Structure 1
Amino acid sequence: MVKVNSLSAQQRLLQLAKTQFGAGISTSKDIESTNNTQDQGQFSDKHQQLAARSGAIFNSASLNINQRAERRLQMQRERQQHNLERIMAQALEYCPESVSAQDVDPDWFQQFCDLILDISNTNMQHLWAKILAGEIATPGKFSLKTLHTLKRMSYKEAMALQQAANLSCRTRQDPSARIYFGYISRPSLWRLLTGRSRAVVNLNQFGLSYPQILSLMDIGLLHSSEIESGTLPAGQQLNWQYQQLSMNGTVCSKDVVLQYYKYTASGAELLPLLNAQPNQQYVEALKQLLVNIIRFAP
């Protein structure tokens, strides 16, 4: 017997929100209207603003240190509540029409809520909202390990992941995303004479610097070392999918090994949340690099 799923994704999210903080949630527009932004000023102004946000009070003779501490803790709780409600509201906008009949694991949801309390950056909040919407649609889609990895990620590292996503492609043989950057050929007399036994493309020219790659490795989104494919025999067919572009080619050189960076399980889970932008210059540079190794179809 097929279980009838009577709740929409948004209805499920509203139920989850109610179990977390005992009430419904406002839309992101409602929350945005209450979020007063502060104008940028000189250093002293910024210092005062940050101090106020932290709950520290200067030149206040009316409050003793215990009262100031209570005020700081109250401000922290209010800020965390604001972050929680804002991400919940944003998740409503990402909820799909169809969802699984399976409910979100309550332990997963509780840890999710605990992790987002101190997420104040708007762009990072959008990522967390997409994760919640995706988990409601397909429970089990995002592991707790991925949530804790995202918690450690700074906005700068999120931008590095975005740049990596822009250069990522998949193959028909292995759907896991990877970033190709070079090749190695086994030594032969001709290759020793010409010096063409190894070649790489500079990914920094296309927005992904080596320090960014190292940072993605450090937080566990890319494997900690470059990967080498198995030896590709001459005549082997390759089918790559780069964004919306299909790249089909034939290996035309013997004993070729391709080099690439590969995403970890957590990186692979986060990658679909990003809006990858194709980089045609990277595609052309990669084809030019491999022109003597792979014959691509026009």
Structure 2
Amino acid sequence: MSEQQNNVADESDISARKKALLLGRMLGLASEDDYRPSTASIAERAQHRQRKLQSHCQANLETIFALALNYSPSDVTGSNLDADWSYQFFQMAEQIHNRKMQDLWARILASEIISPGNFSLRSLAVLKQLTAREALIIEKALGMAAKIGSEKKVKLLSGYKMSGGIKQYFRKHNQTVFPLSQHGLPYSNILTLIDAGILYSSEFETGLLDTKSPLTVTFTNNQFTISPKNPHLLFSYYRFTHIGEELCQLITPKSDDKFAEEIKILIKKDFTLTN
């Protein structure tokens, strides 16, 4: 077993009590170099904790700044950041400890230097609350989202239904639900994105689809054209909020080609497909 594997194993074998005790380092309750909490007053322990906190915040900012430099091209004219925006940005960014999230903040900073005004302070406040797990859920949702026709904004399609027409009375089910859950996006994850302000809380519907106007459906790695077989069909979908759309500019979709292929199979009954 390699040293790295040993370290992982050792980490997983640590008891809950020991892990709780390790948190004492954050509170200034662990001995470090010439600092001994047992001989320090509570005021001295508070000062020590504050110094550690400031050091962590400084390290976070330096990491984000260094990453932002990598995303800032030297052959593009930069812009001056709005003073209030930059102040708020760094106030929030210093509290970002996760490496994956630091990379997101770095890309925001670089993006604003190149072209300011893309990311509002409100979006930053939402982003600050996101965990790395929630960012992975956004990646997954984006990988399953699609653009319909000439629209620039993606939609998380949840199904389609027949609304009206005599044919609906001869069908057992007028609605077809797309298997988001079976492809790694259960409803609990959708609720997480709703709670985070990334998705609107209710589903939306397209207008009735025109049988004479074929539509291009574009997933991350899959594109095809559909034509409704009757004039009473429409899609239902989850819509990204304005803040969600801003964050989607930064997060790379985790494409799901199998989901797109299954959508093709599910809609063949009521749509004509061409690749």
Sort the TM-score into its range (normalised by shorter chain): 0.7 to 0.9
Looking at structure 2, the residues matched to 97 and 227 of structure 1 have their Cα atoms a distance apart, in angstroms, of: 43
Match 1:71 to one of 48, 53, 73: 48
Deviations 1:53-107 (A, max 9, x none): 2323488331111111111111111111111111111111222344455322121
Match for 2:20 among 47, 50, 62? 47
Match of 1:132 among 84, 109, 118: 109
- Alpha-carbon distance, 1:191 to partner: 2.5
2-structure distance, mates of 1:189, 1:265: 38
Q: Is the 1:55–1:71 Cα contact (8 Å) retained in structure 2?
A: yes
Matched, 1:263 2:240: yes
Question: Using the alignment, how far apart are the partners of 1:260 and 1:227 within structure 2?
Answer: 5
Query: Is the CA contact 1:222–1:262 (under 8 Å) kept in the aligned structure 2?
Result: yes
Q: How far is 1:110 from its partner? A: 0.8
Q: Counterpart of 2:179?
A: 202
Q: Which one of 255, 258, 261 corresponds to residue 278 of structure 1? A: 255
**Deviation of residue 189 (structure 1)?**
4.3
Helix, strand or coil at the partner of 1:236? coil
SS in structure 2 of the partner of residue 102 of structure 1: coil
What letter matches 1:53 in structure 2? M
Query: Which amino acid letter does the alignment assign opposite residue 29 of structure 2?
Result: A
Amino acid aligned to 1:52: R
Give the aligned CA root-mean-square deviation in angstroms. Answer: 2.0
2:133 partner letter = K
1:109 aligns with 2:86: yes
Distance of aligned partners of 1:48 and 1:203 in 2 relative to their CA distance in 1, 3 Å threshold: same
Deviation at 1:177, TM superposition (A): 1.1
Q: Choose from 249, 254, 258 the match for 2:226.
A: 249
With structure 2 as the length reference, what TM-score do the two structures score? 0.88
Note if 1:85 corresponds to 2:62.
yes
Aligned residue for 1:257, secondary structure, equals: strand
2-structure distance, mates of 1:252, 1:190 = 12
Matched residue SS, 2:38:
coil
| Aligned-pair identity (%) | 30
Q: How many residues get paired?
A: 261
Answer yes or no: is the 8 Å Cα contact 2:143–2:219 preserved in 1. Answer: no
Partner of 1:217: 194
CA distance in 2, matches of 1:284, 1:170: 15
TM (normalized to structure 1)?
A: 0.82
Gaps of at least 5 residues in structure 2 are 1-7
Report the alpha carbon displacement of residue 218 of structure 1 after superposing the two structures with TM: 1.2
Give the C-alpha shift of residue 139 in structure 1.
Answer: 0.7
Amino acid at match of 2:26: R
Residue correspondence of structure 1 range 90-239 to structure 2 within 5 A: 90-239=67-216
Structure 1 CA distance, aligned partners of 2:72 and 2:188? 35
For residues 180 and 83 of structure 1, the distance between their equivalents in structure 2, rounded to whole angstroms, comes to: 37
In structure 2, give the amino acid aligned to 1:227.
F
